[in-house]
Chains A and B, each alone.
Chain A
């Protein structure tokens, strides 16, 4: 009885292995109709991905990452050749300076005309000659707060995050660049400063904050706010919008000192092996239907002008989803750090976490 069971198991195993073992090898070879995409986690509607594969016949290997630094690490590891990547502005700038980008052939992307000219203009900060990128989503960094637990006046300044009255009710953003941005804005310094004294001051300020905060969170922030675990949280505008969908007591604002405007764009890295497929992909993302579906899933501000036709006035007027010109005027894009500053801030961030 026992031996029969084992024999059955062995046979099953050997059959399984031989069936699948052979499909396992060699599938990463240079297939003509493959595309390797790297994107933020949960940044695409799965239906859009499916439709792209069906309509173009290209097989997509879709990879995700959590943070900007994560993406850079994956790219630099070199174990996978990515064909097209979407990431944030300052990281694109870093890679451009490092010569990692291939120009995009805009003539093969007719749908590029759907993209808002203003956002393309703003992209000049990291793509000066408009050669390498196509915007995907954009937004701001601000404070998502619970109107029942804290009032609008308090959150009109970044100071509220240091208020001991809200001990254990504050969520700070778990992103090196953004956390420093908050401290620098509070101190009145330029968010792109490379002055080590100013950065150290920001670090000291963040250390003082650490004992007051509930946690450093990034993408789990909206869950935390929905369940009212905290009174206020620093997060991205899109995430705030999602939170507000679930809990009507939540509101979002960018404090008066100013915040960060971010633009996530598609680009083609040097490791690209399927350039034509990459062009088709980017064009597909700019398509009206795809962009609308993506927008309704991701809920971040889309630079695609055609999406507006599918949304009601309420959505378009929602300041959290689509930042007003006034808000945007208070926000700045990040500039890429040079190596020394990058090492310095990385070190400070690590020290903060160990504090």
Chain B
């Protein structure tokens, strides 16, 4: 008992930290969001989301984030499944191979995609050598989605892989013993049991994808304006911190909504943790 009380005090430094570095800055943003240039109260920064330009960019962001998440899920699940079935003793190796690309600077890797996808880039050079028609990918919404899929794929693979490894193999074997074929076993046993990993993965991809701006800066050619770009430009170019903060608050609300929808589907005991 005494130990427990003493132990929970260990979190006090962190509690103080959270107050200062997480909660307090949020109040700053809220403050800017609810005031205008002259310092008086206004809701216009929040209602600004109704402006067609902002709505369009928000919708574009949702669309791109949705496709990114969906593609990531479709690509990642088979990978996780195959790796799981390989029954590797050294699980760390798997994690390591997927984390390793993250150690080459992110912007350089996206820059490399520019070189690969451009009109006269590596991909099109290969295609035209083979006599195939060239593709116009760079500086389109497709390129931005591809860039995000590239960036976030590991975040989808790892939670699913972890979830799969928690499944008791005997359950799967029992299903086979009872006469289920591979597909039935997969849909009725494996898939539901890996739900936590899927939800985790979706959250870890959808949320950052929604607010991303660097990828669209580099691969969008100034033609793909996401809500993240709008916010960034309000803070850097237009110097309208009030509007930028207002839109950020709206974005945060959006993220919270998405997460609560996800949490309703999630019935694990993790209770609030993404992993």
Given a CB threshold of 8 Å, the question of whether A touches B is answered with: yes
- Asked whether B223 lies within 8 Å of A228 as measured between CB atoms, the reply is no
**3 closest residue pairs by CB, A with B:** A215-B221, A216-B222, A215-B139
Bitwise, A200-221 to B at CB < 8 A (1) or not (0) is 0000000000100111110000
Binds B, one of A24-32, A55-63, A347-355: A347-355
- Asked whether B221 lies within 8 Å of A350 as measured between CB atoms, the reply is no
> With a CB–CB cut-off of 8 A, which chain B residues contact A76?
239
- Asked whether A229 lies within 8 Å of B120 as measured between CB atoms, the reply is yes
- Asked whether A214 lies within 8 Å of B53 as measured between CB atoms, the reply is no
B34 at the interface (CB under 8 A from A): no
- Asked whether B57 lies within 8 Å of A354 as measured between CB atoms, the reply is yes
Known: A350-B233, A354-B56. A216 touches B238 (CB 8 A): no
B188 at the interface (CB under 8 A from A): no
Give the interface SS of chain B, mostly helix, strand, loop or mixed: loop
Chain A residues within CB distance 8 Å of chain B: 67, 69-70, 72-73, 76, 168-169, 174, 210, 213-217, 224, 227-230, 346, 350-351, 353-354
- Tally A-B pairs: CB < 8 A: 61
> With a CB–CB cut-off of 8 A, which chain A residues contact B235?
73
- Asked whether B238 lies within 8 Å of A230 as measured between CB atoms, the reply is no
Band of interface residues on B: 20 to 34
> With a CB–CB cut-off of 8 A, which chain B residues contact A169?
119
Distance, CA A204 to CA B222, complexed state (A): 17
- Asked whether A350 lies within 8 Å of B236 as measured between CB atoms, the reply is no
> With a CB–CB cut-off of 8 A, which chain A residues contact B118?
224, 227, 229
- Asked whether A215 lies within 8 Å of B53 as measured between CB atoms, the reply is no
Q: What is the chain B residue whose CB lies nearest that of A350?
A: B53
> With a CB–CB cut-off of 8 A, which chain A residues contact B132?
none
Known: A227-B118, A227-B120, A229-B121. A69 touches B225 (CB 8 A): no
Distance, CA A265 to CA B86, complexed state (A): 64
Distance, CA A350 to CA B54, complexed state (A): 9
Known: A214-B139, A214-B221, A215-B222. A354 touches B237 (CB 8 A): no
Give the shortest distance, in Å, between A149 (CB) and chain B (any CB).
11
Known: A214-B139, A215-B139, A228-B120. A73 touches B225 (CB 8 A): no
Q: What is the chain B residue whose CB lies nearest that of A172?
A: B222
Distance, CA A174 to CA B221, complexed state (A): 9
Bitwise, B229-262 to A at CB < 8 A (1) or not (0) is 1100101111100000000000000000000000
Q: Can you list 18 contacts pairing A with B, beta carbon distance less than 8 Å?
A: A69-B238, A70-B236, A70-B237, A73-B236, A73-B237, A76-B239, A210-B223, A213-B223, A214-B139, A214-B221, A216-B222, A217-B221, A227-B118, A227-B120, A227-B121, A229-B120, A350-B53, A353-B229
> With a CB–CB cut-off of 8 A, which chain A residues contact B221?
214-217
Distance, CA A353 to CA B227, complexed state (A): 12
Known: A215-B223, A354-B53, A354-B225. A69 touches B237 (CB 8 A): yes
Distance, CA A210 to CA B225, complexed state (A): 13
> With a CB–CB cut-off of 8 A, which chain B residues contact A214?
119, 139, 221
- Asked whether A350 lies within 8 Å of B230 as measured between CB atoms, the reply is yes
Distance, CA A346 to CA B60, complexed state (A): 21
> With a CB–CB cut-off of 8 A, which chain A residues contact B236?
69-70, 73
